[in-house]
Amino acid sequence: MKKAFTLVELMISIILLSIIVTFLYQSVAQLQTSNLQFMRKTDGLQKREQVLKLLYNDFINARTVQWYDKGRDHDIILIQTNNSFHNMSQPYVLYKVYKEDSVLKRIESPAEKIDFLNNIFKFNDIIENVKLFKVYEQKGHYLIYIKAKDLEDIYLDILPPSFLSTAKITGTNDNNSTKSGG
């Protein structure tokens, strides 16, 4: 009986071990790649959800909505809202895409006119690489559409409660005037 491995047996075991290790390294590399893609996707979804939440809270709590400029690709919107990042009471919020860096900025100020000289405003970068930022209004609904490079398109349809309460009051007055007029 032999007590040692032959050279051929030793070479075969080394080759089998190297094949197994190669497959393990490839699977680990593939797992790292898929994890990186997964992280990018989840970061994009989290960013999208944050933007949706911010826009929803700004518009649902809006007291007034004004268009400063309706550009071809970018609107400039001024909202007076109860939603504040910087602890301001009923701030005026301006949404604007700056052409220099294509960033949608949210500028919050306690006054309707943003005072650049006295720095009575705060701003936040909301989305980078914005290609399209449009806000449409129809029958009290606000439809917001944002298209950005690294973000899934954002569509948001909002019916503010202020419109609902106005519609109820108007509807009640119309019914009373019809009854008294007939």
CB 67 within 8 A of CB 77: yes
DSSP state of 6: -
How far is residue 95's CA from residue 142's CA, in Å, rounded to a whole number? 14
CB 115 within 8 A of CB 121: yes
The pLDDT, as a whole number, for residue 66 is 87
What percentage of the chain exceeds 70 in pLDDT? Answer: 84
Q: Is pLDDT of 167 > 70?
A: no
Q: pLDDT tens digits, residue range 59-103? A: 888 888 888 878 788 889 999 999 888 888 888 999 999 888 999
Residue with token string 């973000």: 151
Q: Is pLDDT of 173 > 70?
A: no
How far is residue 152's CA from residue 61's CA, in Å, rounded to a whole number? 25
Q: What are the boundaries of each domain within the chain?
A: 40-169
The pLDDT, as a whole number, for residue 168 is 40
Q: pLDDT tens digits, residue range 8-40? A: 888 999 999 999 999 999 999 999 999 999 998
The pLDDT, as a whole number, for residue 119 is 64
The pLDDT, as a whole number, for residue 182 is 40
Please state, rounded to an integer, the average pLDDT across all residues of the chain. Answer: 83
Pick the residue with more confidence: 162 or 123? Answer: 123
Q: Is pLDDT of 114 > 80?
A: no
